[in-house]
Chain A
Amino acid sequence: MIRFRRAVLWAALIAVILLTALSVHGAFLGADRAQAFFNSFPLAVYWLALTALLIVGLVIFRRLLQIPSLLLTHLGCVLVLLGGMWGSKAGHAMQRQLFGLDKVPKGQMMIREHAENSRVMIADGNEPRQLPFSVRLREFRMEYYEPGSLIIRSRSGQMWDLPAKAGARLSLGDALGRISVQKVFENFKLRKEDGKTVPYDAPGGSNPALQVLIERPDGTATAGYVFEQFSPIFTEPVDLDLSYRRVVRDYISDLEIVQNGQVAAAKEIEVNHPLHYGGYHLYQHSYGEDELGEYTVLLVVSDSGLNLVYGGYTMLIAGVVWHFWGRRALIAIKSRRMIAPRAQQELPAAPERQE
């Protein structure tokens, strides 16, 4: 038995070293190839062997069962491995074959505003798959940090960053003069007024632009427009490269889940705030625009095995924290309590106060 225990310990150490080496190798492959590598058949054998090794360890080492922190740590690892395998593509195939559970492991869904969709495109699948419910996009919108920036570059390579708000101005030095932002447009459009072409901010749509004035040191001035999506337009050539930059703060899709003709759930999803419904998580993944208008792209991920993984994480961290911090802190406190009365007994008696 001692030899067997020794062999299991060595096997555990070798498994750890092997996984370290495989992780380093996987890091050089890039995420997509690494995912394929760690889901390949030989690695599936490795994951199974590692899980079996942990279970064997729990059975044969009484210490692992007697010390709660070690039990939690090792059992946590087992749950994470089981959850990971259950939620993998192979795990989903196995669920279909053994239990008739036909869930889409992972895919993408494109929805236009006010439209409904239940088809999920699988990255490596030929046929789109159907979800047991439909998703309706009420609205997609992007929010930006305010204000944006007017980026100014001189021919000599100097660069300035001016807040894109009306009235902001900046001195560019004696040779270049001054630049100022006159007006900010959310959706820049032109119209004719009394025979003149006049810019205006049209409701809806998006064509962000800045009206800019450049005042040269010789007293002349040039006005123009700097666009986020197009090249700037000035009444005459200028010696500066100008661009209008806004930073996206969030991408938001306002969704409704429709099942049997009824709205079963609704949520505004954004990055870090997915919607969970019917065994799937729906994530804000991407967006786009074509001739038919704007659309959002959702990532649809099955939640199979997730509770096992999260349960494993909880046990793992609880075990590790208790083993390395809690137990030691408790021992330290106990030993202090034991030392303190003894130390008090050993202290010399305090001298009596003399009145």
Chain B
Amino acid sequence: MEIKYTIQGLLIYATIAVYLLAFVATAARQARAGRVSFFAGFALAVLSYAYRWYDVQHVPLQNLFEIFLFLGTICCPISWFCRRILRIGGQWADMLIGAIVLFPAGFVFSAQPMQLPPALQSWLFVPHVAVYMLSYVFMFKAMFQAFEQLMIAPNAERTSLPPEQATYELVAIGFPLLTLGLILGSWWGKLAWGDYWGWDPKELWSLASWLVYLGYFHWRYMFGKIHPRINSLWAITGMAAIIITVLWVNLSRLFPGLHSYAT
């Protein structure tokens, strides 16, 4: 546990506090107060990300600290997109996700600025990482909906999309981003290391994540909504594979590889 007594740290802690406030307000049925707090938290997250950008002099997506900072920033706009465009509920979960993903940035990972190694000095660096992060937030939201589907009564009254359908909508938005991330990474690998596929642990875990969602679509095509619980289990397994790809592969000594600099 590392507490950051810096402007960067204070901005992150303030964002976490405001996101949690938004969550509590929404849970207490103060929807408007919750929404206002969520946007205030987003403004703080943007400030925190901009501060980091100014500090390191490059787009901060290099290591896990910066990745989680980015995830905490994009939660709110993605939540807004899901509510307004996709008609998917669960904003309380987005507020919680925002606080959860900022926790490692605030308390676990070092904020020591680092210069970009030669391999990361590519125009593909930002799109490759950014589309993956966007897809992860959609898949994380899909996992929440899948859990909700597993827990709720089938005929519960709802104003938004039912969780099984919402899970599908979210995975359908996240999957092209996941595919784009995989392909951009492969292309970048070819330019930087000479191979478009290096059988590196990170690559294999990201392929496994992609394949789980591919399996989800095939399963859902075969059985539709006959087995909604199994549909949800596919989505949850996919997110579990993503968590392993992002965290376990980078932090564990079990998986030494070319992506080790991303810790």
Contact = CB atoms under 8 A, between A and B. Distances in A.
A317 B117 contact: no
Interface in A263-283: 270-274, 281, 283
Nearest to A28: B254
Interface string B135-148: 00000000000000
B222 interface: yes
A223 interface: no
Interface string A127-169: 0000000000000000001000000000000000000000000
Given A16-B214, A20-B211, A30-B257, A324 B173 contact: yes
Q: Interface SS of chain B: helix, strand, loop or mixed?
A: helix
A34 interface: yes
Interface residues of B, number: 46
Q: Interface SS of chain A: helix, strand, loop or mixed?
A: helix
Contact of A23 (B188, B191, B204): B204
Contacts, number: 117
A106 B249 CA distance: 27
Interface stretch (B9-17, B68-76, B118-126): B118-126
B118 A248 contact: yes
Contact of B199 (A16, A38, A270, A309): A38
Contacts of B207: 19, 23
Given A20-B208, A272-B119, A313-B187, A31 B214 contact: no
Interface in B167-208: 172-173, 175-176, 179-180, 183, 186-188, 190-201, 204-205, 207-208
Contacts of B176: 317, 320-321, 324-325
Interface of B: 115, 117-119, 121-122, 172-173, 175-176, 179-180, 183, 186-188, 190-201, 204-205, 207-208, 211-212, 214-215, 218-219, 221-222, 249, 254-258
Interface of A: 9-10, 12-13, 16-17, 19-20, 23-24, 26-28, 30-32, 34-35, 38, 84, 106, 145, 247-251, 270-274, 281, 283, 285, 299, 301, 306, 309-310, 313, 316-317, 320-321, 324-325, 328
